[in-house]
Structure 1
Amino acid sequence: MGQDHDHAHDHAPHHAPLAERWKHDGVRVIPGDKLDDNTAQTPGMYRQAAINAARVGAQKIWAGTVAIQPDAKTGVHHHGALESVIYVVSGRARMRWGDKLEYVAEAGPGDFIFVPPYVPHQEINASTDEPLHCVLVRSDNEAVVVNIPDVEPVERPETVHWIDPIHKHP
Protein backbone atom coordinates (compact mmCIF):
# COMPACT_ATOMS: atom_id res chain seq x y z
CA MET A 1 0.00 0.00 0.00
CA GLY A 2 2.26 2.99 0.99
CA GLN A 3 2.39 3.94 -2.73
CA ASP A 4 0.37 6.88 -3.93
CA HIS A 5 -0.50 5.60 -7.40
CA ASP A 6 -3.16 7.06 -9.69
CA HIS A 7 -4.85 4.37 -11.79
CA ALA A 8 -6.78 6.89 -13.91
CA HIS A 9 -4.23 6.52 -16.68
CA ASP A 10 -5.16 2.86 -17.09
CA HIS A 11 -8.23 3.87 -19.13
CA ALA A 12 -6.82 6.84 -21.02
CA PRO A 13 -5.84 6.55 -24.65
CA HIS A 14 -2.04 6.46 -24.71
CA HIS A 15 -1.87 8.94 -27.60
CA ALA A 16 -4.00 11.62 -25.92
CA PRO A 17 -2.21 14.57 -24.32
CA LEU A 18 -2.51 14.41 -20.53
CA ALA A 19 -4.45 17.68 -20.36
CA GLU A 20 -7.16 16.30 -22.71
CA ARG A 21 -7.11 12.56 -22.01
CA TRP A 22 -10.74 12.43 -20.80
CA LYS A 23 -12.21 15.23 -22.93
CA HIS A 24 -13.97 12.88 -25.38
CA ASP A 25 -13.82 9.61 -23.45
CA GLY A 26 -14.86 10.81 -19.99
CA VAL A 27 -18.16 11.68 -18.38
CA ARG A 28 -21.11 12.06 -20.74
CA VAL A 29 -24.31 13.98 -20.05
CA ILE A 30 -27.32 12.87 -22.07
CA PRO A 31 -30.06 15.55 -21.98
CA GLY A 32 -33.49 14.16 -21.17
CA ASP A 33 -34.93 15.63 -24.36
CA LYS A 34 -32.26 13.92 -26.50
CA LEU A 35 -33.06 10.25 -25.78
CA ASP A 36 -33.06 7.76 -28.67
CA ASP A 37 -36.27 5.93 -29.58
CA ASN A 38 -34.40 3.82 -32.14
CA THR A 39 -34.83 0.83 -29.83
CA ALA A 40 -37.31 -2.03 -29.64
CA GLN A 41 -40.80 -0.55 -29.36
CA THR A 42 -43.95 -2.23 -28.17
CA PRO A 43 -47.56 -1.09 -28.56
CA GLY A 44 -48.68 0.50 -25.31
CA MET A 45 -45.06 1.19 -24.33
CA TYR A 46 -42.68 3.92 -25.54
CA ARG A 47 -39.04 3.08 -24.80
CA GLN A 48 -36.08 5.47 -25.22
CA ALA A 49 -32.39 4.72 -24.75
CA ALA A 50 -30.15 7.12 -22.87
CA ILE A 51 -27.08 4.95 -22.26
CA ASN A 52 -26.05 2.11 -24.59
CA ALA A 53 -23.17 1.03 -26.81
CA ALA A 54 -24.29 3.07 -29.82
CA ARG A 55 -24.81 6.33 -27.94
CA VAL A 56 -21.93 6.43 -25.45
CA GLY A 57 -19.91 3.24 -25.93
CA ALA A 58 -21.35 1.49 -22.84
CA GLN A 59 -20.33 -2.16 -22.85
CA LYS A 60 -21.97 -3.59 -19.71
CA ILE A 61 -25.11 -1.54 -19.13
CA TRP A 62 -28.23 -0.18 -20.83
CA ALA A 63 -30.34 2.65 -19.39
CA GLY A 64 -33.36 4.50 -20.66
CA THR A 65 -36.96 5.42 -20.04
CA VAL A 66 -40.32 3.84 -20.70
CA ALA A 67 -43.80 5.35 -20.76
CA ILE A 68 -46.57 2.75 -20.41
CA GLN A 69 -50.18 3.40 -21.35
CA PRO A 70 -52.94 2.93 -18.75
CA ASP A 71 -53.94 -0.70 -18.10
CA ALA A 72 -51.19 -2.08 -20.39
CA LYS A 73 -49.82 -5.51 -19.44
CA THR A 74 -47.03 -7.70 -20.82
CA GLY A 75 -47.17 -11.41 -21.36
CA VAL A 76 -45.14 -13.67 -19.07
CA HIS A 77 -41.40 -13.48 -19.75
CA HIS A 78 -37.91 -13.29 -18.25
CA HIS A 79 -34.71 -11.51 -19.28
CA GLY A 80 -32.24 -14.39 -19.22
CA ALA A 81 -29.06 -13.69 -17.27
CA LEU A 82 -29.71 -9.93 -17.16
CA GLU A 83 -30.45 -8.04 -13.97
CA SER A 84 -32.96 -5.21 -14.33
CA VAL A 85 -33.73 -2.18 -12.20
CA ILE A 86 -36.90 -0.14 -12.68
CA TYR A 87 -37.30 3.26 -11.01
CA VAL A 88 -40.88 4.55 -10.94
CA VAL A 89 -41.01 8.26 -11.79
CA SER A 90 -44.82 8.59 -11.86
CA GLY A 91 -47.83 6.32 -11.92
CA ARG A 92 -48.32 2.90 -10.34
CA ALA A 93 -46.46 -0.25 -11.42
CA ARG A 94 -47.65 -3.74 -10.57
CA MET A 95 -45.29 -6.69 -10.90
CA ARG A 96 -46.34 -10.32 -10.82
CA TRP A 97 -43.67 -13.02 -10.65
CA GLY A 98 -43.03 -16.67 -9.88
CA ASP A 99 -43.51 -19.95 -11.75
CA LYS A 100 -47.27 -19.30 -11.86
CA LEU A 101 -47.10 -15.52 -11.22
CA GLU A 102 -48.24 -16.26 -7.68
CA TYR A 103 -46.48 -13.23 -6.16
CA VAL A 104 -47.48 -9.59 -6.61
CA ALA A 105 -46.13 -6.22 -5.52
CA GLU A 106 -46.84 -2.62 -6.47
CA ALA A 107 -44.50 0.34 -6.68
CA GLY A 108 -45.14 4.06 -6.89
CA PRO A 109 -43.13 7.23 -7.52
CA GLY A 110 -39.67 7.05 -5.96
CA ASP A 111 -39.72 3.24 -5.61
CA PHE A 112 -37.18 0.90 -7.17
CA ILE A 113 -37.96 -2.58 -8.52
CA PHE A 114 -35.22 -5.20 -8.91
CA VAL A 115 -35.79 -8.12 -11.29
CA PRO A 116 -33.15 -10.88 -10.86
CA PRO A 117 -32.02 -13.10 -13.75
CA TYR A 118 -34.43 -15.73 -15.09
CA VAL A 119 -37.38 -14.70 -12.88
CA PRO A 120 -40.67 -15.22 -14.77
CA HIS A 121 -42.66 -12.00 -14.46
CA GLN A 122 -45.38 -9.79 -15.86
CA GLU A 123 -45.18 -5.98 -15.93
CA ILE A 124 -48.43 -4.08 -15.52
CA ASN A 125 -49.53 -0.45 -15.41
CA ALA A 126 -51.78 -0.74 -12.36
CA SER A 127 -53.77 2.36 -13.33
CA THR A 128 -56.64 2.22 -15.80
CA ASP A 129 -56.48 5.97 -16.48
CA GLU A 130 -52.92 7.26 -15.84
CA PRO A 131 -49.68 6.51 -17.70
CA LEU A 132 -46.74 4.92 -15.90
CA HIS A 133 -43.30 6.52 -16.37
CA CYS A 134 -40.15 4.64 -15.38
CA VAL A 135 -36.38 4.66 -15.75
CA LEU A 136 -34.91 1.28 -16.74
CA VAL A 137 -31.38 -0.01 -16.20
CA ARG A 138 -30.21 -3.42 -17.43
CA SER A 139 -26.90 -5.18 -16.82
CA ASP A 140 -26.09 -5.58 -20.52
CA ASN A 141 -26.70 -3.90 -23.87
CA GLU A 142 -28.56 -6.88 -25.30
CA ALA A 143 -32.35 -6.77 -25.14
CA VAL A 144 -32.95 -10.31 -23.88
CA VAL A 145 -36.61 -11.27 -23.55
CA VAL A 146 -37.64 -14.91 -23.29
CA ASN A 147 -41.41 -15.34 -23.58
CA ILE A 148 -42.99 -18.09 -21.48
CA PRO A 149 -46.17 -19.13 -23.31
CA ASP A 150 -47.02 -22.10 -21.06
CA VAL A 151 -47.70 -19.89 -18.01
CA GLU A 152 -51.16 -18.40 -17.88
CA PRO A 153 -50.88 -14.71 -16.91
CA VAL A 154 -52.77 -13.91 -13.71
CA GLU A 155 -53.76 -10.62 -15.32
CA ARG A 156 -54.40 -11.31 -18.97
CA PRO A 157 -53.02 -8.66 -21.32
CA GLU A 158 -56.21 -7.03 -22.49
CA THR A 159 -56.50 -3.32 -23.24
CA VAL A 160 -53.12 -2.99 -24.94
CA HIS A 161 -50.97 -5.93 -25.94
CA TRP A 162 -47.24 -5.26 -25.96
CA ILE A 163 -46.44 -7.07 -29.19
CA ASP A 164 -43.26 -6.75 -31.20
CA PRO A 165 -40.35 -9.02 -32.14
CA ILE A 166 -39.42 -9.12 -28.43
CA HIS A 167 -42.89 -9.48 -26.85
CA LYS A 168 -45.04 -12.02 -28.74
CA HIS A 169 -48.84 -12.03 -28.66
CA PRO A 170 -49.95 -13.91 -25.52
Structure 2
Amino acid sequence: MSDAPTDEPRWKHDGVRVIKSDQLDSNTAQTPGMFRQAAINHARVGAQKIWAGTVTIEPDAKTGVHHHGALESVIFVLRGKARMRWGERLEYVAEAEAGDFIFVPPYVPHQEINADPDAPLECVLVRSDNEAVVVNIADVEPVERPEEIYWVDPIHSHPDADRDVS
Protein backbone atom coordinates (compact mmCIF):
# COMPACT_ATOMS: atom_id res chain seq x y z
CA MET A 1 0.00 0.00 0.00
CA SER A 2 1.42 3.35 -1.05
CA ASP A 3 1.60 6.42 1.18
CA ALA A 4 1.66 8.61 -1.94
CA PRO A 5 -0.90 11.47 -1.85
CA THR A 6 -3.96 10.98 -4.01
CA ASP A 7 -6.57 13.35 -5.41
CA GLU A 8 -9.31 11.42 -3.64
CA PRO A 9 -11.07 13.18 -0.78
CA ARG A 10 -10.39 12.01 2.72
CA TRP A 11 -14.00 11.27 3.62
CA LYS A 12 -13.23 10.42 7.22
CA HIS A 13 -12.04 14.00 7.87
CA ASP A 14 -13.55 15.94 4.95
CA GLY A 15 -17.02 14.38 4.88
CA VAL A 16 -20.13 14.91 6.98
CA ARG A 17 -19.73 17.07 10.09
CA VAL A 18 -21.95 17.18 13.15
CA ILE A 19 -21.78 20.40 15.13
CA LYS A 20 -23.07 19.80 18.65
CA SER A 21 -25.28 22.46 20.23
CA ASP A 22 -22.63 23.20 22.86
CA GLN A 23 -19.97 23.76 20.14
CA LEU A 24 -21.50 26.81 18.39
CA ASP A 25 -19.14 29.73 17.79
CA SER A 26 -20.15 33.12 19.23
CA ASN A 27 -17.20 34.81 17.49
CA THR A 28 -19.57 36.37 14.94
CA ALA A 29 -21.12 39.78 14.34
CA GLN A 30 -23.33 40.75 17.28
CA THR A 31 -26.13 43.30 17.59
CA PRO A 32 -27.31 44.74 20.92
CA GLY A 33 -30.21 42.62 22.17
CA MET A 34 -29.26 39.72 19.88
CA PHE A 35 -26.87 36.81 20.35
CA ARG A 36 -25.68 35.00 17.20
CA GLN A 37 -23.71 31.78 17.08
CA ALA A 38 -22.25 30.15 13.98
CA ALA A 39 -22.62 26.43 13.43
CA ILE A 40 -21.70 26.14 9.75
CA ASN A 41 -19.25 28.54 8.07
CA HIS A 42 -15.93 28.47 6.26
CA ALA A 43 -13.80 28.72 9.39
CA ARG A 44 -15.56 25.88 11.21
CA VAL A 45 -16.26 23.32 8.46
CA GLY A 46 -14.90 24.74 5.21
CA ALA A 47 -18.35 25.76 3.88
CA GLN A 48 -18.01 27.71 0.63
CA LYS A 49 -21.58 28.79 -0.18
CA ILE A 50 -23.60 28.77 3.05
CA TRP A 51 -23.66 30.10 6.61
CA ALA A 52 -25.91 28.66 9.33
CA GLY A 53 -26.30 29.35 12.99
CA THR A 54 -28.62 30.44 15.75
CA VAL A 55 -29.84 33.81 16.97
CA THR A 56 -31.55 34.64 20.25
CA ILE A 57 -33.29 38.01 20.41
CA GLU A 58 -34.13 39.53 23.78
CA PRO A 59 -37.73 40.52 24.57
CA ASP A 60 -38.83 43.67 22.67
CA ALA A 61 -35.41 43.95 20.95
CA LYS A 62 -35.07 44.87 17.27
CA THR A 63 -32.38 45.44 14.68
CA GLY A 64 -31.79 48.62 12.77
CA VAL A 65 -32.95 48.77 9.17
CA HIS A 66 -30.54 46.85 6.93
CA HIS A 67 -30.18 44.44 4.02
CA HIS A 68 -27.76 41.61 3.23
CA GLY A 69 -26.70 42.51 -0.31
CA ALA A 70 -27.03 39.65 -2.77
CA LEU A 71 -27.52 37.06 -0.01
CA GLU A 72 -30.73 35.14 0.52
CA SER A 73 -31.66 34.43 4.14
CA VAL A 74 -33.93 31.86 5.74
CA ILE A 75 -35.03 32.16 9.36
CA PHE A 76 -36.71 29.26 11.15
CA VAL A 77 -38.49 30.24 14.37
CA LEU A 78 -37.81 27.76 17.16
CA ARG A 79 -39.50 29.64 20.05
CA GLY A 80 -41.23 32.96 20.40
CA LYS A 81 -42.86 35.42 18.05
CA ALA A 82 -40.95 37.18 15.27
CA ARG A 83 -42.11 40.34 13.54
CA MET A 84 -40.49 41.33 10.25
CA ARG A 85 -40.90 44.78 8.75
CA TRP A 86 -39.61 45.48 5.24
CA GLY A 87 -39.77 47.88 2.32
CA GLU A 88 -38.23 51.26 1.57
CA ARG A 89 -40.11 52.75 4.52
CA LEU A 90 -40.76 49.50 6.42
CA GLU A 91 -44.29 49.75 5.09
CA TYR A 92 -44.97 45.98 5.26
CA VAL A 93 -45.14 43.67 8.25
CA ALA A 94 -45.62 39.95 8.88
CA GLU A 95 -45.30 37.79 11.96
CA ALA A 96 -44.00 34.26 12.44
CA GLU A 97 -44.21 31.84 15.34
CA ALA A 98 -42.54 28.59 16.35
CA GLY A 99 -42.33 26.24 13.37
CA ASP A 100 -42.62 29.02 10.76
CA PHE A 101 -40.01 29.89 8.13
CA ILE A 102 -39.17 33.42 6.96
CA PHE A 103 -37.49 34.09 3.60
CA VAL A 104 -35.63 37.37 3.06
CA PRO A 105 -34.67 37.98 -0.61
CA PRO A 106 -31.50 39.84 -1.67
CA TYR A 107 -31.32 43.61 -1.15
CA VAL A 108 -34.66 43.86 0.73
CA PRO A 109 -34.47 46.54 3.45
CA HIS A 110 -35.84 44.93 6.62
CA GLN A 111 -35.95 44.99 10.38
CA GLU A 112 -36.17 41.96 12.67
CA ILE A 113 -38.18 42.38 15.87
CA ASN A 114 -38.97 40.18 18.85
CA ALA A 115 -42.73 40.76 19.04
CA ASP A 116 -42.96 39.37 22.58
CA PRO A 117 -42.22 41.85 25.38
CA ASP A 118 -41.72 39.03 27.91
CA ALA A 119 -39.86 36.14 26.25
CA PRO A 120 -36.77 35.66 24.07
CA LEU A 121 -37.12 34.80 20.37
CA GLU A 122 -34.99 31.82 19.30
CA CYS A 123 -34.29 31.14 15.63
CA VAL A 124 -32.08 29.20 13.24
CA LEU A 125 -30.60 31.41 10.53
CA VAL A 126 -29.24 30.22 7.16
CA ARG A 127 -27.65 32.50 4.55
CA SER A 128 -26.71 31.70 0.96
CA ASP A 129 -23.07 32.72 1.32
CA ASN A 130 -20.32 32.48 3.86
CA GLU A 131 -19.72 36.24 3.95
CA ALA A 132 -21.46 38.24 6.67
CA VAL A 133 -22.87 40.99 4.48
CA VAL A 134 -24.84 43.62 6.42
CA VAL A 135 -25.60 46.98 4.86
CA ASN A 136 -27.08 49.31 7.48
CA ILE A 137 -29.56 51.90 6.22
CA ALA A 138 -29.66 54.97 8.46
CA ASP A 139 -31.94 57.30 6.51
CA VAL A 140 -35.20 55.29 6.59
CA GLU A 141 -38.29 57.19 7.71
CA PRO A 142 -40.56 54.29 8.77
CA VAL A 143 -44.27 54.54 8.19
CA GLU A 144 -46.24 54.57 11.41
CA ARG A 145 -48.64 51.68 10.71
CA PRO A 146 -47.26 49.14 8.23
CA GLU A 147 -49.51 47.11 5.96
CA GLU A 148 -49.89 43.54 7.19
CA ILE A 149 -49.02 40.95 4.52
CA TYR A 150 -50.39 37.41 4.37
CA TRP A 151 -49.14 34.54 2.26
CA VAL A 152 -52.00 33.91 -0.16
CA ASP A 153 -51.81 31.25 -2.87
CA PRO A 154 -54.04 28.43 -4.19
CA ILE A 155 -53.82 26.55 -0.88
CA HIS A 156 -53.61 29.49 1.57
CA SER A 157 -56.51 31.92 1.68
CA HIS A 158 -56.46 35.38 3.23
CA PRO A 159 -57.58 35.22 6.92
CA ASP A 160 -60.53 37.54 6.11
CA ALA A 161 -61.76 35.27 3.28
CA ASP A 162 -63.99 33.24 5.62
CA ARG A 163 -65.32 36.32 7.38
CA ASP A 164 -68.42 38.15 6.15
CA VAL A 165 -67.18 41.69 5.51
CA SER A 166 -70.51 43.09 4.23
TM-score range, shorter chain: 0.7 to 0.9
Q: Give the gaps of 5 or more residues in structure 2.
A: 145-166
Q: What's the TM-score, normalizing by structure 1?
A: 0.78
CA RMSD of aligned residues (A): 1.6
Residue 20 (structure 2) aligned to one of 10, 28, 31: 31
CA shift digits 1:86-127 (9 cap, x unpaired): 000000000001111111000000000000000011100001
**8 Å contact from structure 1 (residues 122, 153) kept in 2:** no
Give distance in 1, aligned partners of 2:143 and 2:72.
Answer: 23
Q: Counterpart amino acid of 1:110?
A: G
Give distance in 2, aligned partners of 1:52 and 1:14.
Answer: 26
Q: Counterpart amino acid of 1:135?
A: V
Report what 2:6 is aligned to: 14
1:145 equivalent to 2:137? Answer: no
Q: Counterpart amino acid of 2:121?
A: L
Higher relative CO (Cα under 8 Å, sequence separation at least 6) belongs to 1
Residue 74 of structure 1, CA deviation: 1.1
Q: What's the TM-score, normalizing by structure 2?
A: 0.80
CA shift digits 1:19-50 (9 cap, x unpaired): xx411111000001110101111221110000
Task: Report percent identity of matched pairs.
Answer: 83
Give distance in 2, aligned partners of 1:101 and 1:14.
Answer: 54
Give distance in 1, aligned partners of 2:65 and 2:54.
Answer: 21
Give distance in 2, aligned partners of 1:125 and 1:152.
Answer: 20
Give distance in 1, aligned partners of 2:8 and 2:72.
Answer: 35
Q: Counterpart amino acid of 1:33?
A: D
**8 Å contact from structure 2 (residues 58, 120) kept in 1:** yes
Q: Counterpart amino acid of 1:116?
A: P
**8 Å contact from structure 1 (residues 96, 122) kept in 2:** yes
**8 Å contact from structure 2 (residues 81, 114) kept in 1:** yes
Residue 119 (structure 1) aligned to one of 99, 108, 115: 108
Report what 1:97 is aligned to: 86
**8 Å contact from structure 1 (residues 75, 153) kept in 2:** no
Residue 54 (structure 1) aligned to one of 23, 27, 43: 43
Give distance in 2, aligned partners of 1:125 and 1:95.
Answer: 9
Q: Counterpart amino acid of 2:115?
A: A
